[in-house]
Amino acid sequence: MAQRIIGIMGALPEEINGVVNLLQNKKEHRFGKRIYYTGTINNQDVVVVYSRIGKVAAAATVSTLILKFNITELIFTGVAGGIASDLKIGDIVLGTELVQHDMDATPLFPQFEIPLIGKSHFKTDSEFLKLGENSIQHILENSYLHQVIDTEDLDQFNIHHPKLHLGLIASGDQFFKDSEQKNNLLSNLPDTKCVEMEGAAVAQVCYEFGIPFIVIRTISDEADQHSTIDFMKFTEKISNIYSIEIIKNIIK
């Protein structure tokens, strides 16, 4: 049986710095202008890296994790803009499937379909999905996050009773900054929970190499004209802590 090695990715250093700090026996490896951190979390071999923003950067990074570091599964963690009306800042979306909302090779291929693959939606492995769901629910129960995040920081973003949502995540090389973008997306992909810039590219690469994956997104904004307000502070003070606690619960 192949050695189990879990890859852990985020797009920004602020999204995975806390996870890097969890590593025991940490070593740095430099490839393709990125630093890959190897080590263990709870005696489990892991490789942690931030990819930078966008689908190409994410695809290059996960390909390196698979081909160079021989990961057997992947966790992607970070922030996203909320699309579904029931999402609030501080909620968590666990992707059941992912789609590239800016893929459009019509009329040669149907909209959203990846040419020559015959798929538009990439589904998360059901067992991995259940593990992620149970791990996230554990940290959302009994106001656990209020024990590890300053109340002042939670209050700033009006986070009181965050919830977990499962559903479709849409990815594209666009930062959503107004309601028109949001409404256009919903008209084409009405089941979308949230929008971000890497997850579906990662899902496609993992699908092609047969690597189970999960994509976990903390809602940082509502994908409208207010989406840039304190974005980096949210990433550092809120979603970074979410990522630490979720990873610790998944890797037990």
Residues whose CB falls within 8 Å of the CB of residue 12, separated by 6 or more in sequence, listed in order: 50, 52, 53, 78, 235
CA 99, 102, 108, 111 dihedral sign is: positive
User: If 0-12 CB within 10 Å is exposed, 13-18 middle and 19+ buried, where does residue 116 land?
Assistant: exposed
CB 216 within 8 A of CB 246: yes
Q: What is residue 165's predicted lDDT score, i.e. its pLDDT?
A: 96
- pLDDT at position 213, please? 97
What are the structure tokens assigned to 71, written together?
């990961």
- With a cut of 50, which residues of the chain have pLDDT below it? none
Residue pair 95/28 in contact (Cβ under 8 Å)? The answer is no
Say which of 14, 196, 221, 222 is annotated catalytic.
Answer: 221
Q: What is the pLDDT of residue 21?
A: 94
Task: Let me know: does 176 contact 182? Beta carbons within 8 Å.
Answer: yes
> Of the CATH numbers 3.30.1360.120, 3.40.1080.10, 3.40.50.1580, 3.30.9.10, which one belongs to the domain with range 78-250?
3.40.50.1580
Q: What is the pLDDT of residues 130-151, one digit of tens each?
A: 999 999 998 888 778 888 888 8
Average pLDDT of every residue of the chain: 91
Of residues 148, 130, 120, 93, the one with CA closest to residue 204: 120
Full-model pTM: 0.93
Determine whether 221 is an active site residue.
yes
The one catalytic residue in 15, 97, 196, 236 is 15
Is the CB of residue 172 less than 8 Å from the CB of residue 197? yes
Inter-residue contact 41 to 23 (CB < 8 Å): yes
